[in-house]
Chain A
Amino acid sequence: MKKLSLMLIAVMIFALALTACAPAAPATQASAAVEPTKAPAAVEPTKAPAAVEPTKAPVVEAPKGDILIGNLQDESGGMKALSSALTFAATLQIEKINAAGGINGRMLKLITYDTRSDVNEAINAYTRMVQQDKVSIVLGPPIANIGIAIAPVSQELKVPVVGLFMDDKCTMQESGAPWTYMFLAQNSATTQGTIIANYAVKELGVKKVAVLYNSQNAYSVGLANPFIKVIEDSGGQIVAKETYTSTDKDFRAQLTKIKAAQPDALYFPSYPVEIPLIYTQAFELGLNVPMFGSNSVPPTGLAPSTDPAATTNTFYPYGINPSDPVLVDLAAAYKAKFDTNAIAQSFSGADAFGIIVKAIEACGNDVSSACLTTELNKGTEYVGFQGTVKLSATTHQPDALPMAIMTIKEGKAEFVTWYSPTGPAVK
């Protein structure tokens, strides 16, 4: 009995000691365990290696050490398909840059934390990479919920985040002013929803539309609303508006109602997990109308396990045209290296990272968060895979980029045309 007690007390002390010595880590997702590491009440801005304040003339010292770039992605959770594409894109670029000697003689180093699609995990990770690893800029995820949560934290930590989080709330505050440190490197949800809606109305003459979306998810809601607005503004009618929740796997109740409303088309801005289910169940219920999706269709919609008969007659907006010969070569190299297909996020992620690199280059010897934020706010044009990305100073989102309208035929994606929020576009 005594031995047991002693042993247990030893275990306890050991546990606490480990906590003290160990560098920070993400919290468990399943248990109601500790959510550690929040920004301290008084935050010191990340200082540049040599300079004391950005305004004072920097002490002339050769910059030391690697340039640390944080990477906040879902590497093993539900959004892994879309999110790890950014990690891959960044890795490719870093290898290329480092092989050529780095930037100003300094190598780039990517510090990746796995958010597992968990918001608390992401907040902790972001805080940790700033306070512990001392990154000066972060490549953010394509996950709107996380973007929304990180935004206020970024005001505290003052380290800029360039990501693919599409919701307006990720880059703009309630007051209308942009979040100082948040930047979106692809079309916002509003733009994307508007583009596909306009395509549906102007090119396919769609009048009566049904919408099926996740009312609990920022991505889904952020895409549904502008779509609905365009349809209604153009004189069309939303004949059915059905919602589901993040854990739902069965959409037959909603799809049956939608079918009964006899729509011309169905719009379903969804996450990868629901897409094959919606396709299959809609197909089984005999809902044979054109389906309009979002830019997250490819990973699961085109997966071999999804029935091609169900996915035919789909249209979705995409950041790039995958059949572009240049991209085809890059995609092959990507697949060879990472054993997974390149998707739009691989390229828009490359653009996001490219914007980061450009800001770093512009900052010369003073690669501090302060300088980087100033650079990003200048909104310099960046020529990337998606076109010419120019971040607006008022919204921290790009001025509308044309998107590729894709369709699926026999399980394969096909390019249809370029489209902009107002009409057909030329690239």
Chain B
Amino acid sequence: MSFILTVALSIAAYSIAVLGTFMLTGMNGLFSLGQAAFMGLGAYVSAIMVVNYHLPFAVAILIAIVVAMGLAVLVGFATLRIRQDFFALATFGFGQAVTGLMTEMVNVTGGAMGFSNIPRLTTPTIAFISLAVAIVFVWGFRRSHFGKDSLAIRSNELAAKVEGIDVFKHKLTVFVLSAAFAAYAGALMAFHTRYVEPAMYGWIASVTWIIIVFFGGRDSLTGTVLGSIILLAAPEALRFTTAWRTLVYCVLILVIINLRPRGLFGTWELSLKPVINLFRPKKHQEVQ
């Protein structure tokens, strides 16, 4: 696999996780510092299923996603009724607890020494198609009533409740969905890098995804995807700066937030309308 393809695959997989954060944090304003823990869960469960129990790749991933979603339901029930900042704290604690468990259960997960020798089962095709499907899903999600409810809840939760939206149920659904996204991304990465360790799934990773969403624009799906590509490719592009690289990255974020808080792309979306218009018979346009 060429270098470019390897990088592109990683970007695609991480972008799926970022999309989960887009739904949860960008659209719904829920700041979860434990998203990366779900990614770790997806990675470990699928890896253990394949390496120790010899299950087929697809089945292992499915199990991983189900486990992550199940845990998300439990955690969601416990934490989603709490105030926003406290929710961040609670999910932070959750992330710590999960990575703590992963590290403690040495016999199952290899502990801090990591889980290695995972077979290479993720192909670029799988990764890119997954990303495409994820994008379509989120796009559909936004267009549906979920999208409108998200915006309502994010703007003013109390008013949303008054309007009859079942806020808790909505939040729980979104939380579980984004956990599924993160878990899937984790599984993809595990069978690509062939090695996972708990340290990869700490709160800093979760925060990085939130930053990416804000960088691209939390109201723009295209922005998030493009922002994800830019920021995940940047460490490679800025490689020659080595130690300065992360600092440049941080400065970049600060500049964006200060000068353009709506994100790089604001509310701009890639739209197929102009293309579609080209193919429409003239008379339909005139009728407008």
Contacts and interface: CB of A to CB of B under 8 A. Distances in A.
Given A22-B237, A31-B204, A40-B1, A152 B229 contact: no
Interface stretch (A12-20, A228-236, A275-283): A12-20
Interface stretch (B59-67, B108-116, B156-164): B108-116
* A14, A16, A153: residue with the most chain B Cβ atoms closer than 10 Å: A16
A8 interface: yes
Contact of B230 (A15, A120, A123, A216): A15
Contacts of A149: 114, 116, 195, 197
Give chain B's interface residue range (CB within 8 Å of chain A): 35 or more
Interface string A207-228: 0000000011110010000000
A76 B245 CA distance: 15
B243 interface: yes
A389 interface: no
Overall SS of chain B's interface: helix
Contacts of A33: 14, 208, 231-232, 234-235
A191 B221 CA distance: 57
Interface in B80-111: 100, 103-104, 106, 111
* B4, B120, B239: residue with the most chain A Cβ atoms closer than 10 Å: B239
B114 to A, nearest CB: 6
B129 interface: no
B1 A38 contact: yes
Nearest to B115: A149
Given A32-B14, A32-B208, A148-B116, A120 B237 contact: no
Interface in A1-36: 4-5, 8, 11-12, 14-16, 18-20, 22, 24-36
Interface string B199-228: 010001100110000000000000000100
Contacts of A216: 103-104, 106, 111-113
B249 interface: yes
B7 A19 contact: yes
Contacts of B264: 8
A25 B6 CA distance: 13
A41 interface: yes
A29 B192 CA distance: 18
A31 B239 contact: no
Contacts of B205: 31-32
17 contacts: A15-B230, A16-B233, A25-B239, A25-B240, A28-B245, A29-B246, A31-B249, A32-B14, A32-B209, A33-B235, A34-B233, A119-B114, A123-B194, A145-B112, A216-B104, A218-B112, A245-B103
A37 interface: yes
A144 interface: yes
B189 to A, nearest CB: 7
A176 B17 CA distance: 38
B36 interface: yes
B117 interface: yes
A357 interface: no
Contacts of A38: 1, 6, 120, 192-194
Given A25-B235, A25-B240, 11 more contacts: A22-B237, A26-B239, A36-B3, A36-B10, A37-B7, A40-B2, A145-B113, A152-B116, A216-B103, A216-B106, A216-B112
A313 interface: no
B137 interface: no
Nearest to B192: A38
Contacts of B6: 36-38
A26 B237 CA distance: 11
